[in-house]
Amino acid sequence: MKFLILGAGALGGYYGGMLIKGGADVTFLLRPKTAAKLDKFGLKLRLKNGDFQPPIKIITPDMQKNQYDIIFLTCKAYDVKGAINSIAPSVGPKTAVLPILNGINHIDMLAERFGSHSILGGVTQFLVNQADDGTILPTLHGSGGQKTLFGEILSSTSQRCASILDEMKKTMPDTAISDNILKKLWAKISGAGASFAVASLLHARAGKVAAAPAGHNVVAGIFDECAAICLAEGYPPPDGMRNVLLNDLWGKINSDYGPSLLADIENGQPTEGEHVIGDLVRRAKKFKLKTPLLEASLCRIQIYERGLQER
């Protein structure tokens, strides 16, 4: 089984590195500048039992000659259109494309280009960061562990999913197949989408939000708007998700929690706000749902993004 990983950022570097550690045949598809940097400094993962720096295979877009069994997409949501064009030469009739991204609309985008039969869905329940020197830093998050769920979007199971699981389990034991991955994707959106909206609206980490007298009600209101959209789409949030968001993530005064979107804002980088919050707002309009807090969040992120463009 041959794997192609688009990009070697935090998540792509993690999955590619861990698959290599388990003995899988892995190639990274990179832009020339990134390829040159990775070729010079290598790929390094900081794991519990020490650093792991494997030999790696790299190709650039002009070098694509082969088709692959599995292609991992781990780019930012705003790069999906470019990513689709980048991987197209490597997609064959039996290729499975496995996106592990924030949001949900990338599933439709990929299915439109390659056909629904080629698309898997993936969800992570942990964080991966990248140090200034490029070192990949996986961290525990949520309920603990480094859990990845993936599965077919058109069926409950398949032999190719079983084969992927066999490879991933060698070094990523928390990996599992979901027999309803769309339900898992929507469950994540109910929480992560709400967290993105809180971060984009308030530009503050959880401790400061929890300490603000109005913070609890703002978080609750945003979650309830997200939950209504998920329900309208046929995927009500899991039991307990509201409590997790209000109390575990955004309800602790001493917490430094913040979603990846907030880190992007803090670092003056583009965000996935338009592709996650914007998508939620557009879906709300489809169902004629009123979402004033989500629209305020979207407006705030649009102002931020416009400021980046002007600079």
2-179 and 184-310: same fold? no
Q: What is the mean pLDDT of residues 201-216?
A: 98
Going by pLDDT thresholds of 50, 70 and 90, the confidence category of residue 144 is very low
What's residue 140's pLDDT?
Answer: 53
**CA-atom Rg of the chain in angstroms:** 19
What's residue 40's pLDDT?
Answer: 86
CATH architecture of the domain 2-179 equals: 3-Layer(aba) Sandwich (3.40)
Q: Are 57 and 28 in contact (CB under 8 A)?
A: yes
* Model confidence at 141: pLDDT above 90: no
Neighbours of 122 (CB within 10 A): 21
Q: What is the mean pLDDT of residues 147-174?
A: 94
What's residue 142's pLDDT?
Answer: 44
CATH class of 184-310: mainly alpha
Handedness of CA 12, 161, 109, 60 (dihedral sign): positive
Q: Are 3 and 70 in contact (CB under 8 A)?
A: yes
Q: Are 227 and 242 in contact (CB under 8 A)?
A: yes
What's residue 279's pLDDT?
Answer: 96
Residue identified by tokens 């994707």 is: 185
Q: Name the maximum alpha-carbon separation found in the chain.
A: 58
Domain boundaries, the chain: 2-179, 184-310
Distance, in Å, from the CA atom of 311 to the CA atom of 302, rounded to the nearest integer, reads 14
Residue identified by tokens 């996650």 is: 276
Q: Are 86 and 6 in contact (CB under 8 A)?
A: yes
* Model confidence at 133: pLDDT above 90: no
What's residue 41's pLDDT?
Answer: 87
pTM of the predicted structure, to 2 decimals = 0.90
* Model confidence at 128: pLDDT above 50: yes
Q: Are 225 and 196 in contact (CB under 8 A)?
A: no
* Model confidence at 241: pLDDT above 60: yes
What's residue 16's pLDDT?
Answer: 96
What phi and psi values does residue 12 have, to the nearest 5 degrees?
-65, -40
User: What is the average pLDDT score of the chain?
Assistant: 93
What's the pLDDT tens digit per position in 277-304? Answer: 999 999 999 999 999 999 999 999 999 9
